Every structure is written in C-alpha cells, then in structure tokens.
Chain A
Amino acid sequence: MVETCSVCETRKPVVGVYALTSCYGCQLMIATVEKILQISEAVTFKSFHMLTSASSHGKVDIAFVEGSVSTEKDLIELKQIREDATVLVAIGACSIHGGVQSWDQGLRDYPEMYEKVYGNGEIAYEGLAAKPIDHYVKVDHYLPGCPPDEREIVYFLSTFLFGTYPERKERPVCHECRLAGNPCILIEKGEMCLGSVTTSGCNALCIGFGIPCIGCRGPTPYDTASFDALAKEFKRLGKTREEVLDRLSIFGSHDRRMRQMVEKAYGGEK
C-alpha cells in the first residue's frame, strides 16, 4: 500500500479524474457534489476534463478512474495513469465490475459482437471485450456505484486528505435497506431484488422507492455474495434461470462465481 499521508501533510494532493469507456456519469457526479468548491480548494486537479480544460497527463497523487477497458487506447491510457499515480481508485460500476457493457461477458465471442455492431466498419482503435480495470493494473481502492454516492466520494477524499485511506464497504444493500426502515420487497412482493448480493453504500435508494435492486454497486467483495441461495429463492418464486442470470449479469457478469452458483441453484434445468 502506498501512503499518501506524507504528500498530504506537506502540500495539496494532486488529483486526476480520468474516464475510459463509460458514460462520464461518475465524473459528473464528482463535479457536482455539493462540496466541489471546498474540494477544489483542498486538492489540485491535474486532470479533470469535466471541470477544467487545463487537463493534462502527468504525475498525480490520487487518480480516480471511471470506465472499463474496452479498447486498446483505454488500455494504453490506463497503464500510463497507473504509472503516474501513487494511489489509484477505481470508481463506478464500469471500472470496478466492467459495467453494463460487460453484460454478455463469457456468453458471446467478441469478434461476433463486433461484427454485429460495426459490420466491417473501421474504428480508430482496436476494440477489446470490456473488462474491469483491475484485470490489467493494480487497483488500490474501490469506490462503487452507478454513479457513486456523494457521501462516499467526499469520504474517500477526506480520508486521503487526512493522511489515511478509506475502509472498503462489504455489507450488502439489505443492511442499509433495513436501517433505512424499508420493508423487504423480496419477501413481501416477490421482487427479484439483488440487495443481498450487492455492495451497500447507496442507502438502498431504489428500494426506498419500491424499485428492486439491480446490483449497480456490484457483488459484495471477497466472495461473500451468496448467488446460489438467492437464485434458489428466485427459482422458488417461479423465476427462470435465464431471468435470474440476466438480472445478475447486468453488473455482475465478471464475478467468477456468479454463473456457476446460479447453475447450481437451478441444477442444470433449462
């Protein structure tokens, strides 16, 4: 683990916010947090296209990277960012879990998909199957969300400014959902809610509005997501294997245990 505290105690940390293949929503989220003026005072933005046209590459103390690696260009850029950064934070669903562009991960051949979309058209850089950035480089911290929650963005920056680093959340959304005082919509309405296998930090916002969790913050880390037990419950509720896999793949297709555990729950039934 690289320390930032020596940096933070002597001068303002230099921060870069970068985007690979993404919707730029994470950047937008950072740019629009209520305390952005205070943040701009506390750090020096070396690169942050959404905030300053004076963005350039170069050494930074903290790099926030959104987006998945989906082209050769992304990969070259990511490797450069890693080299230039003391601390690298993967931010958002695409960067951490591959994002919705990974939905079909492992189900279809990349050349087949490419042809379907681009035919024999040419694009400037060779495309790659979308992957989370830690597939290619070492990631120091993960800030999940689609987009991340404002409080968490501020918490991350605050810990760095304080000379320490953030604690990783691994509790499921259910935790915050109960704390928020919601009734469980999986129990009460039989909704295909993914809260129990999804990393918390959103205060169960969707469920608060009666919308089942689709797992945008990604599976709980350290292999703690019980996809099998959840899939079994969905099966009991009459959901098909395909429905369950579809739902879990939106943001969880790169989880190496997910498909296998769903298959286990469905016992090979079609």
Chain B
Amino acid sequence: MRYLKLPHEKRREFLIELKGYGILYAPVSISEKNFDYKKVDDVDTIRFDYNRTVLPPRKYFFPPNETLFKFDKKDCRLIDAYEDPGTFVIFGMHPCDIIGLRVLDSRFIDDQPDTYYKRRREKGIIIGIDCLPDEYCFCNIRDADFADRGFDLFLHELDDGYLIRVGSVMGHKIVDACDHLFEAIKAEDISVMTRKEREKQAMFQHYENWDNLRYLLELQDSHPLWERESEKCISCGNCTLTCPTCRCYDVQDVPELDGNGGKRIRFWDSCQYREHGLVAGGHNFRDTKLDRFKNRYQCKNAYCETMTISYCVGCGRCTQFCPTGINYRKNLMEIRGDE
C-alpha cells in the first residue's frame, strides 16, 4: 500500500482538487443535531467531525427511487432506463459505511450482478476518513471499525494533517495528479497514528465477542424482550431506511397518461411494513408487528460469507434514529445475556 501525508493547511486545496473528478458528496450539517451526505459546492461546509449521517451512502449506488425500465405497451419490451450519474466522489465515509457498502456488494454484485447498482458503483470514488466512536457505535464488535479495502483513499487524522492510505488505482491517479500537496510519512506520524488508534479503541463501550449471537437469536425466540421491545415500535421503518446494509426494495409500474407506455420504478422497502411478507390472496408470512420486529434482528445478524462478518456493521443508526428509543445494541446484549 502507498502512504502519504496531507498537511492540514493543504486540506482545502485537496478537497477542491477532488471536485475536479465529478460531483462531490460529503457530510454536512442538516439540522442542529443531524448530518447527511449532500452535494457540496463550498468545501468549507464539509463536517469532518460528524458522528453519522441520517441516510447511509448507499443512496448514491442504490437510489431511494430509481427508474429501472421504460416500456411501450405495444410489444411488452423493456428499455433499460439507467441514468448515468457520471463520475462522483464521496468524501468522508467512515469505516463502517465503507464495509457496509462491501456487504451490499456481496448481494448486489458478487452473485447475479444488479446492473444498476454495479454501474453506479463503478462511477463512485470513495474517500474514507477515520472517526471516533460515540455512545451508539459498536463497529468494533462487528469487526467493522477498520477499513482495509473498499476505498480509493483513506484519511487518518494526525495532529498536523492526515495520513493517507491509497487503496486503488484511482486513488493513485488522484494523488499523482496533485502530488505537490503531499509529504512523505515520517516515523513520528506513524506513532501519532498508532496513538490515536489506541485512543479510539479505548473509547468503545463494549468489547465482547458476539460470535454466538446468531445461535442465541434462534434459541431465544421466546425471550420476553421481543414482546416488550416490539410494543415500543411504531413501524416507521427508520431503522431499515437508515441502515447501511438494508437493501429490500419494491417495484412498481407507473403507466403514462396516454395509456401506451410508462416506467418500472423501484424504491426502498422495509421489512417493518405489513406488505413486506404479504402474498397474493392475502396470506401474510410476517403478519404481526412482533414477527416483523424479530425479522430485522435475524436478518441483520445473519452471516455475510464474502465479508466474514454479520450484515450489521454496528454503525448505530437504527438506535439513534429510532423515534421511540429502541436500543438495538442493548437488546442484542440482553439476548446474549450480557445485560
């Protein structure tokens, strides 16, 4: 791997350089307490200190609403309606989100590629940045606190700049094109990085090994927690919509007014809604809120074989963005008998 140092005073110039590759998306403040990825015109609005964005960056690869096809009534043929976003740059992705995207890749690319997702994925330049955990984070338990792949460049903050890891050919091209901004890594930079890494590790609240969780979730199917916690649930779907690895979608055909053509669209769905398990004829395989509540815990903790981690990356969104304060991590720990 190639390592470089970006001094703090060159950061602004580097960000402007990135804008040259396409639309720049980065975390910005959207309200008093919340952040989200937005298109950035003024690089000074980028928040380096954000905790987590409301929506995960998957929205750029798997848009919340997207037209799959257009069609003409006369011959039943579908015309691919993929809209090329052009090359774009996502700046500031935390390790959990980078790993979350790779978890999505395992479903959307590794097996029978979803051509819409795959084409966008090839257009996205990913610049990661290291972060410090808050009370919702448990990426360390999920083995998603350090991204060793899945980015073009990754920034670790030092006292006077950033240590950059170059993770792809595109990453090399980017730094080559503005090599005057960078310095060579010195021994003290490495010791600052390792010190910060130790400090970060010390900030997590829990360090258990959750390898047995999958089986405990199955064994604890009658645990009183399920009734108690699902009663708090308002079925808003926030937990799934803000999840970096949720990928359920629904498809709908929208005809044109002229009665001759139309489009086939897809949009994010959520297993927390009644329709999710409903089949024609009216039978519902997840008929109650309790069924749907459990479903998410089972799905998120299933094993993603290509990443050798669970589908949950421990980003903490489903807990922070639950309107009724259902604490996902605490619930899992209760299932494990930790709390």
- Scoring A42, A175, A184, A226 by chain B CB atoms within 10 A of each residue's CB, the highest score goes to A175
Is B270 in contact with A175, judged by CB distance below 8 angstroms? Answer: yes
| A205 interface residue per 8 A CB criterion | no
Chain B residues in 8 Å Cβ range of A8 = 259
Is B55 in contact with A174, judged by CB distance below 8 angstroms? Answer: no
- Scoring B32, B34, B255 by chain A CB atoms within 10 A of each residue's CB, the highest score goes to B255
The binding surface of chain A is classed by DSSP as helix
**B21-36 CB contact bits vs A (8 Å, 1 = yes)?**
0000000001111101
Chain B residues in 8 Å Cβ range of A35 = 257
Chain A residues in 8 Å Cβ range of B234 = 196-197, 226, 229-230, 233
The binding surface of chain B is classed by DSSP as loop
Is A38 in contact with B323, judged by CB distance below 8 angstroms? Answer: no
| B241 interface residue per 8 A CB criterion | yes
Residues B283-339 near A (CB distance < 8 A): 289, 321-325
Of the candidates B33, B36, B254, B273, the one whose C-beta lies within 8 Å of that of A158 is: B254
Interface residues on chain A, number (Cβ under 8 Å): 41
Is A226 in contact with B262, judged by CB distance below 8 angstroms? Answer: no
Range of interface residues on B (Cβ < 8 Å):
35 or more
Is A158 in contact with B241, judged by CB distance below 8 angstroms? Answer: no
A175 and B242 CA atoms in complex are apart in Å by: 10
Report B66 CB to chain A, min CB distance, Å. 11
A184 and B32 CA atoms in complex are apart in Å by: 11
Is A226 in contact with B235, judged by CB distance below 8 angstroms? Answer: yes
Report A143 CB to chain B, min CB distance, Å. 15
Report A20 CB to chain B, min CB distance, Å. 27
Report B267 CB to chain A, min CB distance, Å. 7
A197 and B241 CA atoms in complex are apart in Å by: 16
Is A183 in contact with B31, judged by CB distance below 8 angstroms? Answer: yes
**B253-288 CB contact bits vs A (8 Å, 1 = yes)?**
011111100100001101001110000000000000
Report A82 CB to chain B, min CB distance, Å. 24
Residues A156-196 near B (CB distance < 8 A): 157-159, 161-164, 167, 170-172, 174-175, 178-179, 181-184, 186-188, 195-196
| B183 interface residue per 8 A CB criterion | no
A159 and B235 CA atoms in complex are apart in Å by: 29
Is A229 in contact with B256, judged by CB distance below 8 angstroms? Answer: no
| A155 interface residue per 8 A CB criterion | yes
| A224 interface residue per 8 A CB criterion | yes
| B10 interface residue per 8 A CB criterion | no
Assess A178 versus B262: contact at CB under 8 Å? Given A184-B323, A233-B324: no
| B64 interface residue per 8 A CB criterion | yes
Report A52 CB to chain B, min CB distance, Å. 19
A sample of 13 cross-chain residue pairs with beta-carbon separation below 8 angstroms, ordered by A number, consists of A8-B259, A158-B254, A158-B257, A162-B73, A172-B237, A179-B267, A181-B38, A181-B54, A181-B55, A183-B33, A196-B323, A226-B234, A233-B323
The 3 A-B residue pairs with the shortest CB-CB distance, nearest first, are A174-B236, A183-B34, A162-B255
